[in-house]
Amino acid sequence: MERVPADASPAAQPILQVEDITLAFGGVRALSGVGFDVAPGTITAVIGPNGAGKTSLFNTISGFYHPTGGRVRFKSHDITRTPAPQRARLGLGRSFQNIALFRGMTVLDNIKLGRHAHLKTNVLDALLYVGRARREEAALRADIEERIIDFLEIDHIRNAPVAALPYGLQKRVEMARALAMQPQVLMLDEPVAGMNREETEDMARFILDVRAEWGITVLMVEHDMGMVMDLSDHVVVLNFGRVIAQGVPDAVQRDPEVVRAYLGAGDVGDLRERFRRALTAQGA
């Protein structure tokens, strides 16, 4: 999994800006003053120990949580109070840490649901299935079957019910549904959690390809440190709801604060050995 350098210029206007975000649930602060930029055409990873606030941050960016302070900007526009469905229409597509597919539906039908936010068919057209409804359905199916299903190599399961699929393929279907949303920023919440080494390498390849071939910016939360360090252009590290480090992967993994957050000690060699053991265990 060789990391591909970002195409974007360092001076490019960020496509996504998280500005001093604070999120509280009652008296508990999940996020405190979190801020970072995502450059267009890059892969940015958010990492941190369990309970660091990573999924809370994702839910805030995608509009499921409303922050108690700070702002989220997408393409320079303040979307802090924009509802989640509208953020999807603007170009923020995401997957979920726990698979959120409709298990009784086929792979194809699950993927088609990702385009729902962009459809213009009214209720009457949909009920009669004529005119615009029929044209939209035909265009949608062609795009999904000719681009997304082929891209993710899941043509052989397009008509299979999701419940019959192994976990790794379900994660791939969820990514397909997120791509059907036509995102400009693809947000992936632990895309390789629970996968074996082969499945992880396949997903890493798809993530690199979606950036290289489709020009989609990627923001991901991930615990697989080997994958994070190989793929990412920029890494943001959270601990107890705060950003403790950010930068290029090589600099982040040497940062003493990052080492302490993961190990409680300042030995970088121990942290690297832990990453190595984790990768070795995946290949076992």
Tell me: the pLDDT tens digits for 197-245? 899 999 999 999 999 999 999 999 998 888 999 999 999 999 999 999 9
Q: Residue 171, by phi and psi: left (phi above 0), alpha (psi -120 to 50) or beta?
A: alpha
Tokens 């080997």, located at residue: 226
- Torsions phi, psi of 76, nearest 5? 75, -5
Q: How far is CA 171 from CA 85, 86, 131, 248, in A?
A: 22, 24, 35, 27
Residue-level pLDDT at 50: 87
Lowest mean pLDDT among 124-133, 204-213, 275-284: 124-133
Q: What is the average pLDDT value for the chain, to the nearest integer?
A: 83
Location of each CATH 3.40.50.300 domain in the chain: 13-91+183-284
Q: Check whether 101 has a pLDDT greater than 70.
A: yes
| DSSP letter assigned to residue 161 | B
Burial (0-12, 13-18, 19+ Cβ within 10 Å), 120: exposed
Out of 3.40.50.1820, 3.40.50.300, 3.90.1150.10, 3.40.50.150, the CATH code matching 13-91+183-284 is 3.40.50.300
Of 231, 230, 227, 229, which is closest to residue 218 (Cα–Cα)? 231
Residue-level pLDDT at 113: 81
Residue-level pLDDT at 246: 96
Q: Which two tokens stand for residue 247?
A: 């930068």
Count CB-CB contacts under 10 A for residue 268: 15
Q: What value does the mean pLDDT take over residues 153-160? A: 91
Total-model pTM: 0.81
